[in-house]
Structure 1
Amino acid sequence: MLALYGEISRPAASELTIPDVIYPRLPARAASAGGFIPAGWAMESQTFGDLNRDGIPDVAVVLRQQDPRNVVANDAGLGANPLDTNPRILAIAFRSGSSGDYILRFQNHTLIPRRVDPVLDDPLEETGGIAIERGALVVSLHSFASAGGWTMSSVTYRFRFREERFALIGYDRHSVTRNSGETADVSINYLTGKIRVERGDISHDKKEVVWKKLPIPSLPMTIDAIGDGLEFHPEN
């Protein structure tokens, strides 16, 4: 991991046995947001708003598995004990104007990373997770290590439904290195192709700002292409 965010070692995680997960395929349609919940999973959060610009509120949900086998004992290591490693699914469904049903448009289990390290906070613990703002899906994640690393950060993604896919239009990350007080803020506007990097220190107001140009790919970056939302560093 680059120095901009500080290095995080994960010795505790290597001592744990994390169960494998088979992710279910969600129903193709449902009469309500709750109709997409598979057996053994629960609705963790939901948000409504018009994502495909047809004037009808759609829905985005975060589902979390409720398997007790994914709650792992951590008797010998640092951090959480027990550790809840139950994973999440992010799903989006458009509401049909004719039937009123919700039609599944997308599901993903990588953007919101599974918690598998007891010294790392749950990535949704501080953020509230998801929202729909001005026709865009907003996903906010959080990273904090109680051991093995000094950097804490928050990252926000904005996606808009374009060309039959959910394209990344905005990325913002705020990071603080706790032992040095150094701060780093990265903001990327994928619609203008501009990157703003601001560095500073919590001890003073002086900031160093650098602007960069983001190469525009032939196709927009999608949710699936990002992978783990805390490991993705597009400015590099």
Structure 2
Amino acid sequence: MNILSAAAALLVGLAACAAQALDIPDVAYPPLPRQAAAAEGFVPPGWTLEAKVEGDLNGDGKTDLALVLHATDPKAVVANPDGLGEDPLDTNPRILAVAFAKAGGGYALALENHALIPRRTDPVLDDPFDSTAASGLEVARGALRLRLGVFASAGSWSMSTTAMTFRWQNGRFELIGYDRTETNRGSGEIEGLSINYLTRRAKRTEGTIESDAEKANWETLPRRPLPSLDEVGDGLAFDPYGRR
């Protein structure tokens, strides 16, 4: 089992254990307004605007909005009875939203997703979304790019970053790029995976933190329909090869 596969299995295992130990409340997601004059108009009561980036996402020459909304329910800030990791733990969920600029002013909601940024449920895992990082959410060359991270304070030497790139086409945001870097803090091994779904080319790399040299292997992926952002689901649990 390579580092990437081992880390994914460990992440699932840690989350399952934490879910059993913590009393995590259910979530009720409010529907977002269909239109608003500004980003703040899409934020429902009990939520906050955590991140906002601007750029033309649908190719009409107007500046659109990409937003991350974070719930602020105090009931979702739960005690950690084991004391290992963060205590208390904020398990409030997030919503990823996109609003397109309207010709007459204001914005119209184009995307409302509850799954891509996973909810935090494990006290030994850092928050997967860093709202303070410029690369956490960005609009680059007309595409939407989200970055997620995994870092465990206990139970694993593995840490990773995953970036997913989506483009508005065929009336939806489709996944066109996937980049993941996995580092073992104990051994210093680094494994990377970069996929361009438009060219169907995947690059796997192996290296170490002690050297800039790396070994690269290329492969061509089978032809498959591009998944939409909503079809990806949890961004950290997604299988970039499309295996079921």
The TM-score by the shorter chain falls in which range?
A: over 0.9
Greater shift in the superposed pair: 186-195 or 199-208: 199-208
Instruction: Please report how far the alpha carbon of residue 207 of structure 1 lies from its aligned counterpart in structure 2 after TM superposition.
Output: 1.9
1:91 to 92, 97, 102: 97
Q: Secondary structure at the match of 1:94?
A: strand
Name the structure with the higher helix share. 2
The residue identity in structure 2 corresponding to 1:140 is R
Residue 87 of structure 2 corresponds to 81
Provide the TM-score with structure 2 as the length reference.
0.91
Distance 2:26 2:48 in 1: 19
Q: Deviations over 1:125-147 (max 9, x none)?
A: 37442111110001011110111
Provide the TM-score with structure 1 as the length reference.
0.94
Are positions 1:198 and 2:205 aligned together?
A: yes
Are positions 1:61 and 2:59 aligned together?
A: no
2:128 to 117, 120, 123: 123
Are positions 1:105 and 2:105 aligned together?
A: no
Gaps of 5+ in 1: none
Are positions 1:142 and 2:146 aligned together?
A: no
Are positions 1:46 and 2:52 aligned together?
A: yes
Q: Deviations over 1:3-62 (max 9, x none)?
A: 435342423442101110011110110111110000100100101100111110000100
Greater shift in the superposed pair: 11-20 or 135-144: 11-20
Task: Tell me how many residue pairs correspond in the alignment.
Answer: 234
Greater shift in the superposed pair: 207-216 or 35-44: 207-216
Instruction: Please report how far the alpha carbon of residue 203 of structure 1 lies from its aligned counterpart in structure 2 after TM superposition.
Output: 3.0
CA 1:201/1:5 → structure 2, altered by over 3 Å: closer, same or farther? farther
Distance 2:117 2:153 in 1: 20
Residue 37 of structure 1 corresponds to 43
Instruction: Please report how far the alpha carbon of residue 204 of structure 1 lies from its aligned counterpart in structure 2 after TM superposition.
Output: 3.4
CA contact (8 A) 1:175 1:185 kept: yes
Report 1:19-38 matches (<5 A). 19-38=25-44
Instruction: Please report how far the alpha carbon of residue 214 of structure 1 lies from its aligned counterpart in structure 2 after TM superposition.
Output: 1.4
CA contact (8 A) 2:3 2:182 kept: no
Q: Deviations over 1:66-122 (max 9, x none)?
A: 00000011142310011001110000010111x212000111011111111000000
CA RMSD, 1 decimal? 1.6
CA contact (8 A) 1:72 1:84 kept: yes
The residue identity in structure 1 corresponding to 2:124 is V
Distance 2:226 2:81 in 1: 45
Distance 1:221 1:12 in 2: 30
Distance 1:41 1:84 in 2: 13
Gaps of 5+ in 2: none
Residue 168 of structure 2 corresponds to 161
Q: Secondary structure at the match of 2:222?
A: coil
